Amino acid sequence: MTLVLLLVMLTACAAVPQDLSGKMFTFPEATNTAHVRITTSRQEFSAVTVCLRFFTDLRRGCSIFSLATPSTDNDFLISKKEIGVTAIYTRNKLAEFVGQEYKLNVWHSICSTWDSASGLGQLWFDGNPSSRKFISSESNIRGTIVIVLGQEQDSHGGAFDTNQCFVGMMSDVHMWDYTLSPCEIQRYMSDLTFTTGNVLNWEALDFQITGRVLTEDKQKTCR
């Protein structure tokens, strides 16, 4: 009975959202296991905006943000391809955005938007918007949602591939259930006051770490 009570207490503690202001997730090695799983109670989206910051020396492609449902492994995926190309998948449909300056060993800010009514998606990279492109329309993201950082889900919650994993640091992860305005995205990119995510909020994040992923103070350049 005592053991059961302890497990319940530990589970309850793990479920408390954490304020990660000034923190970062560090993914220090290439594996097919290490990842951060982020919890949300939401089960349907007709529109999405995801913003985060990352730092890496990877030249190969890697997953930046992976959202899967039981029926669709790439229900919303942001993936860095070769240098200068970023892929956004929505409902397993792909659009590629070119021209991003992926400098190595530099913090980059990235935001991606999509709404099902128009089917249009857009990528913002270090303050610069891409062309708006058609990805998928007339079908919402729906189902039991699993969100993963550090790995790409090739099945719901798993089937990770070392060649798709992220190595580096991530911070300031936010997600909204609507397309954020250009002004709000610019405020996020410029590290100014902005409306925090109403789905995922870095200042109140419910997450679980598997494998060698560290939560550390975010490194900043001294001036």
Residue pair 149/65 in contact (Cβ under 8 Å)? The answer is yes
Please say if the pLDDT value at position 168 is more than 90.
yes
In terms of C-beta density within 10 A (0-12 exposed, 13-18 middle, 19 or more buried), how is residue 43 classed? Answer: exposed
pTM value is 0.89
Please say if the pLDDT value at position 222 is more than 70.
no
SS3 content of the chain, % helix, strand, coil (to 5): 10, 45, 45
For 56-111, what is each residue's pLDDT tens digit?
A: 999 999 999 999 999 888 899 999 987 789 999 999 999 999 988 889 999 999 99
Model confidence band, residue 5 (pLDDT cutoffs 50, 70, 90): very low
Please say if the pLDDT value at position 12 is more than 80.
no
* Nearest to 32, CA basis, from 173, 147, 167, 144: 167
Residue 167: phi, psi to the nearest 5?
-125, 125
